[in-house]
Structure 1
Amino acid sequence: MIQVNPRSGAAAPTTLSTATATAGKAELTTRSSATAAVSPVGQSAQKAAAAAYPDRPLISSEPLRYNVQLNQQLTAVQQADGFLLETEKQLLQLNHLITRRVPAVEVVKQAETLQQLLAKRESLSGGAVDRQLQLSLQSQPTVNFSLPDGAALLHDERPEVLTFSLAGRQRAISAAELDGSSPQQNLLRLNQALGKWGIHGQLSGGQLNFEVGEQRWPEVSQHLSVQGSGERYPQGQFYPLKPQAENGLEETLQQLVRAPGSGSALLGSLEQSLETVTRQRRTLQVTRGRVQQRIDSMATFNGPSSALQAAEDVAARLRKADFSSVSQALAGQANVQGARVRNVLAAA
């Protein structure tokens, strides 16, 4: 069960099961009220519309879909925060050891402990933190990389057809015709050729940088090659491009383990990584607040006995109702999933 810290003034913490229950309560009340005034023809229309779910775009008409998305967001936020919190602790400890000028063996031991944590980043963070320790809650994390002499790809005015190859489980080929008319036009042709593998390039300060999804990065980093016509790249054979990932905390720790005496020189990079982690955790706190507001907006029953009171009100109305009203109420009950009914009764 995922715990969400309540806002000030809340009576009790909200959990994922509570979010599920409140979403179920909202739908149960809405369907029961609507059924009392719906004819058999209207019931048929409702069943036909329900059959189209989940293709229907209006998620407010189906609280369950909204609730699943909310639960997924809560899980991603808490996993990311847990990983960043532990990374922050380990970084603080490492910086403290370097500042105190402790023996190199202690520094190396702490750096290796942090390396082990970063090696599990994808699983511990639920894929919500990339290798630069940036949050990626709404999309898959990416890797920024560059190519040796990448600028020559764009600024060389000689026309050339480049054939790219991405090996791995099976070889794939893609070609780009660079006419040399302008760097922007060459970049467009490159993106069209490399885009089939999820690679996207952009110019930043005159430098050519690329990005690709983390899941594709191992394949791209080891098996991306190119063949030219003798202008930029050789003809007749594929030349390995050897992409270089943007430096991050992992590379800094590798340098520190290889040369423990360089701790003071690397302290600036470590502190920069620490600032990034702290900033991302602040962002997560804002996200938590927004999620809490969404949970509160889903609440239909305000107190622990509200669901029971609502059931008693319905029972009182049915005692005075005719056969047609009772029949419609039973039809409405049949349209509510059993799991939602149990959630409502469990919270009563």
Structure 2
Amino acid sequence: MQIPSTSVPPVIVPGANAGNATAVDGTALGLNGENAATATPVNPTPTSAAPLRRGLNNWDQPLQGDISGAQQALDFLEQSAAQLRNLKADISARLASRQRSDGTLEARVRQFSNSWRNRGSASGGTLDAGLKFSSKGSSNTTFSVRGMNLANLRNGGREVLAIAVGGGQNVRSVVLEPGLSDAQIAQRFDEALAPAGVRAALGDDGQLEFSTPEAQWATVRDTLAVQGNGTRFPSGQLNRVKAEADPAAVDPDSWQTADADGLRATLQQVVQALAKVEQSIASVHQALNQVAARVQKASASTGKGGMEQVAQNFVSTTSKPGYQSLLSITSALAGISRERVISLLALRN
């Protein structure tokens, strides 16, 4: 299928945190009454260290998101593993006894198939169809494009590819030249297609692979088109190219239970699926361990150094005349009564 010719847009050729200050609150630190030396927010000096962070509620949101996403993924994976183990036992028992179906096995297959269809929502978007975990909460579909393999892209002279995603109005350009490395080729595709929601990278097998959010996959698959100058792709008009999603880790819709041969084939697929689920569980646990290390690091940074920061902020503020200085001092003295001062002075006698 051809799309009317579109002029090639400007060529894209790749070239070569500031923290948020947080006011220190004595209540958040658990300081009340006579101990509330910093109960009123104190403005840190521009040269002060990073603001004090205390407790999970004050940690960075990405950290909390990573923990939540990993827990959702584990819940889904562990439930799936339990269902697969039950399926494995039921199929083995059916094959061993040669009993006729009573509907139990078929019901278990339907149950797992329904669970798998809800993978995206059940895992919070952290698991893609290949059971690859991503803490970003947006599972992707990884796919390949016919003709866009490294063996084809490396060869030939200079060529400018116009690539359309989502229709002829959204066209991006990629320049291919002799001598580009595989990583450079992947980078050029990635930089050109990223605004259209498509990313490119070298896969684990060293081949060029593309990915897009699962919700966008159908649009990308049905609208992806390329125009070249005749070197690697036809010139003249944008031509649709075939995009194929990588096989899913599990395909329960293909499982058969009607006869012994179908049961044996299904048993083999269930065993393979269980192995992939367990492998994914291990990868999520590894991600959780990395988050735990970040938690420990964040906790350590809020110990002695954090209290020193509180003291430094207080001294800095009270040393300057003005409203903030008066406010900080009166807040620090708010819980100190005459009787308490007398009793403390009596200890010196």
* TM-score normalised per structure 1: 0.61
Matches for 1:40-189 after TM superposition, within 5 Å: 46=41, 58=50, 60-61=52-53, 64-66=57-59, 71-101=64-94, 108-137=106-135, 140-151=138-149, 152-167=151-166, 171-184=169-182, 185-189=184-188
The one-letter code of the counterpart of 1:274 is V
Counterpart position of 1:35: 38
Q: Do the aligned partners of residues 47 and 84 (structure 1) sit closer, same or farther apart at CA in structure 2, a change above 3 Å counting?
A: same
The one-letter code of the counterpart of 1:248 is A
Do the aligned partners of 1:161 and 1:177 also contact (CA within 8 Å) in 2? yes
Do the aligned partners of 2:69 and 2:126 also contact (CA within 8 Å) in 1? yes
Do the aligned partners of 1:77 and 1:288 also contact (CA within 8 Å) in 2? no
Matches for 1:154-303 after TM superposition, within 5 Å: 154-167=153-166, 171-184=169-182, 185-197=184-196, 198-202=198-202, 205=205, 207-250=207-250, 252-256=251-255, 260=262, 262-280=265-283, 282-283=285-286, 286=289
Do the aligned partners of 1:161 and 1:228 also contact (CA within 8 Å) in 2? yes
* Distance (Å, rounded) in 2 between the aligned partners of 1:59 and 1:90: 47
Larger Rg computed on CA atoms: 2
* Distance (Å, rounded) in 2 between the aligned partners of 1:136 and 1:242: 26
SS in structure 2 of the partner of residue 239 of structure 1: strand
Residue 111 of structure 1 and its aligned partner are, at CA, apart by 3.1
SS in structure 1 of the partner of residue 189 of structure 2: helix
**Count of aligned positions:** 274
* Distance (Å, rounded) in 2 between the aligned partners of 1:210 and 1:88: 29
Higher relative contact order (Cα pairs below 8 Å, separated by 6+ residues): 2
Identity of aligned residues (%): 23
The one-letter code of the counterpart of 1:256 is W
SS in structure 1 of the partner of residue 29 of structure 2: helix
* Distance (Å, rounded) in 2 between the aligned partners of 1:67 and 1:208: 34
Which ranges in structure 2 are unaligned for 5 or more consecutive residues? 1-24, 304-325, 336-349
Do the aligned partners of 2:186 and 2:200 also contact (CA within 8 Å) in 1? no
Q: Do the aligned partners of residues 150 and 288 (structure 1) sit closer, same or farther apart at CA in structure 2, a change above 3 Å counting?
A: closer
* TM-score normalised per structure 2: 0.61
Bigger share in helix: 1
* Distance (Å, rounded) in 2 between the aligned partners of 1:68 and 1:203: 30
* Distance (Å, rounded) in 1 between the aligned partners of 2:186 and 2:67: 39
Do the aligned partners of 1:150 and 1:208 also contact (CA within 8 Å) in 2? yes
Which ranges in structure 1 are unaligned for 5 or more consecutive residues? 1-22, 37-42, 301-322, 333-348
CA RMSD of aligned residues (A): 4.4
Residue 87 of structure 1 and its aligned partner are, at CA, apart by 1.1
Residue 82 of structure 1 and its aligned partner are, at CA, apart by 1.6
Residues 108-139 of structure 1: per-residue CA shift (max 9 Å, x gap): 54333222112222222222323222332256
